[in-house]
Amino acid sequence: MSDHLNPNPAVPPEIATAAETGELVVFAGAGISRLVGCPGWDQMANKVLDQLVPNGIDYHELSQIMQIADPKKRLSIAKIIAKKHNMQIDYSVIFKATRSDGDIYSCLNLFDSAFITTNYEKNLVPVSRAKEPESNWRFSRRQDLLGVHLDKNGNVIHLHGCHDDPNSMIVTTRDYLEHYSSKELQTFLTYLFAKKTVLFLGYGLDEIEVLESIVRNAGGIVAGEQKRIRRFILQGFFSAEDGLARTLEEYYRESFGIQLIGFPKDKKNYGQQVDILAAWARQMKFGSVEFVDEVAALEDEIRG
């Protein structure tokens, strides 16, 4: 096994400190939802199209659309067909997860931090907020992309919308172009990377394009402007991919100011990531921005 890929990496001090001060934001991508059986882009596009048969399209039309390689284009066509025939897509069926005790979300939901996700599903239910009305802590509309929502532990922000609110879902290529050029999103991402320490999860090689869009729309912030490391990505590799891991480590650092935390997949595949996050959840102490502000105010008063 490569000595560069640690199966049990310690919590980086910067992440531990950010958790204590309420500055940690966990940013979950598609690789996380796929661990519980949620579909990737290809599967999602195909499942949406399947719901349009036979009332929207017939099987011959379906076979023709299926030949389009780009799933976002297939989804764009499906959206047009559904609107034309006044059909509603049941996304709850498409994103139904196969959950179990000790799965990846069981670990993440123990983190009492703010969350951002590009996933449409709703498996992020932080234990610290689970008894509150969901409307208090889950946000999916563009107008909800507010920095203040990152200052509350247990808040979950769906950057690309949520499946139970189809109108909020960023699905087609046009949706993405409009969303990432919006002032709301750019202001939100600028606040995120200026004020918070971010841990990216579930962004593998097939998600780099999404990661680049997110970071590069953050108001022009680059690695050289940061005084301390505030961006991390946990990513798995096979031992034979050690060279790739080292190359990506430099790429993330130079391009986005992100520090790569690599782990080996040889024995448990992505199950190793579950072990790592479970250990981190037990070790970390979570504070809040409000508490830190109160302590600072008290210290100022004492000194005064």
Over the chain, what HEC string results? CCCCCCCCCCCCHHHHHHHHHCCEEEEECHHHHHCCCCCCHHHHHHHHHHCCCCCCCCHHHHHHHHCCCCHHHHHHHHHHHHHHCCCCCCHHHHCCCCCCCCCHHHHHCCCCCEEEECCCCCCCCCCCCCCCCHHHCEECCHHHCCHHHHHCCCCEEECCCCCCCHHHCCCCHHHHHHHHCCHHHHHHHHHHHHHCEEEEECCCHHHHHHHHHHHHCCCCCCHHHCCCCCEEEEEEECHHHHHHHHHHHHHHHHHHCCEEEEEECCCCCCHHHHHHHHHHHHHCCCCCHHHHHHHHHHHHHHHC
Res. 299: pLDDT tops 50:
no
- For residue range 133-157, list pLDDT tens digits in order: 999 999 999 999 999 999 999 999 9
**pTM score > 0.85 for this model?**
yes
- In this predicted structure, what is the pLDDT of residue 291? 52
- For residue range 15-43, list pLDDT tens digits in order: 999 999 999 999 999 999 999 999 999 99
- For residue range 215-250, list pLDDT tens digits in order: 877 755 444 445 567 899 999 999 999 999 999 999
What mean pLDDT is reported for the chain? 89
- In this predicted structure, what is the pLDDT of residue 281? 95
- In this predicted structure, what is the pLDDT of residue 210? 82
Instruction: Provide φ and ψ at 68, rounded to 5°.
Output: -75, 120
Q: What is the C-alpha to C-alpha distance for residues 278 and 300, in angstroms, rounded to an integer?
A: 37
pLDDT level of residue 302 (50, 70, 90 thresholds): very low
Higher per-residue confidence, 33 vs 303: 33
Mean pLDDT throughout 46-62? 96
pLDDT level of residue 290 (50, 70, 90 thresholds): low
Res. 284: pLDDT tops 80:
yes
Res. 297: pLDDT tops 50:
no
65, exposed or middle or buried, with CB in 10 Å at 0-12, 13-18, 19+? Answer: middle
- In this predicted structure, what is the pLDDT of residue 212? 83
- In this predicted structure, what is the pLDDT of residue 296? 42
- In this predicted structure, what is the pLDDT of residue 173? 85
User: Euclidean distance between the first and final Cα of the chain, in Å?
Assistant: 56
- In this predicted structure, what is the pLDDT of residue 3? 57
